[in-house]
Amino acid sequence: MFHDDGWLFVYRCQKDFDSAAYTRNIYTRYGLDMEILDPDGIHDHDPGLKPIFRQRPLGQG
């Protein structure tokens, strides 16, 4: 999902989140600020999303 202030990667399960670690490391290496949100943080950031997502990196750039 894209927003004016960055983009969102959402994961329904821990396995998928863990599988994306390599990509997150590349983004971090090239200076992308990223924040990992827990389910409460996801809801606070995007209350319209259904509560099916476990974790979500929030990239800002």
User: Beta strand 6-8 with 33-37: parallel, antiparallel or unpaired?
Assistant: unpaired
The pTM of the whole model exceeds 0.85: no
Residue with more model confidence, 11 or 52: 11
Residue 19 in tokens: 């599988």
Domains of the chain, first to last: 2-60 (3.30.9.10)
pLDDT at 9: 83
Other Cβ atoms within 10 Å of 59 Cβ, number: 19
Considering only CA atoms, which of 12, 3, 5 is closest in space to residue 56?
12
Distance of CA 18 to the CA centre of its chain: 12
Question: pLDDT, tens digit, for every residue of 13-57?
Answer: 888 888 999 998 998 999 988 888 888 887 887 888 777 666 555
pLDDT at 60: 47
